[in-house]
């Protein structure tokens, strides 16, 4: 079955740029989606189709996807973006999530 790998944790200083990667075999041939989940809350879609932002998602969130790696980038990271982030893609009609990355802003 298809697997996607994320780093368990990423740390960033407030106002700096955070990058969270998601690796999978030929992931660049698929669309990548990214979700933010804060403690005790439901996930929120922040990036779809590799690089598009849903309505209401701040411009500081951006995405890219090429080769075997998709990347979520948060520019000028504020403390409120501290959360778990999950990548997701489709393989053989099955939705697959990465294991998640805890973003710490300190």
Partner 1 sequence: QVQLVQSGAEVKKPGASVKVSCKASGYTLTGYYMHWVRQAPGQGLEWMGWINPNTGDTNYPQKFQGRVTMTRDTSISTAYMELSRLRSDDTAVYFCAKGEVVASGYFDSWGQGTLVTVSS
Of the candidate residues 44, 60, 68, 69, the single one contacting partner 1 (CB under 8 A): 44
How far apart CA 66 and CA 93 sit, in angstroms, is 21
**Phi (first) and psi of residue 25, to 5 degrees:** -60, 120
Contacting residue, 48, 60, 64, 75, with partner 1 by CB under 8 A: 48
What are the residues facing 33 on neighbouring strands? Answer: 88
What x-and-dash track marks residues 50-79 binding partner 1 by CB under 8 A?
Answer: ----x-------------------------
Restricting to residues 77-106, which ones interact with partner 1 according to CB under 8 A? 86, 88, 90, 93-100
Q: How far is the CB of 23 from partner 1 (least distance, A)?
A: 15
- Determine phi and psi for 49, rounding to 5 degrees: 45, 55
Closest CA to 89 of 4, 32, 7, 5: 32
Q: Please tell me the distance from the alpha carbon of residue 34 to that of residue 86, in angstroms, as a whole number.
A: 6
Q: Which of 10, 18, 33, 70 binds partner 1 (CB under 8 A)?
A: 33
Which residues here bind partner 1, judged by CB under 8 A?
Answer: 33, 35, 37, 42-45, 48-49, 54, 86, 88, 90, 93-100
């Amino acid at each position: 079955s298809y697997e996607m790998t994320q780093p368990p944790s990423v740390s960033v200083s407030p106002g700096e740029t955070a990058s969270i990667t998601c690796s999978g075999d030929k992931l660049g041939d698929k669309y990548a989606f990214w979700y933010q989940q804060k403690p005790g809350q439901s996930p929120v879609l922040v990036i779809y189709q590799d690089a598009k932002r849903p309505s209401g998602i701040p411009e500081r969130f951006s995405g890219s996807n090429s080769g075997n790696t998709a990347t979520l980038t948060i520019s000028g990271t504020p403390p409120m973006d501290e959360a778990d982030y999950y990548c997701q893609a489709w393989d053989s009609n099955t939705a697959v999530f990465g294991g998640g990355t805890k973003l710490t802003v300190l």
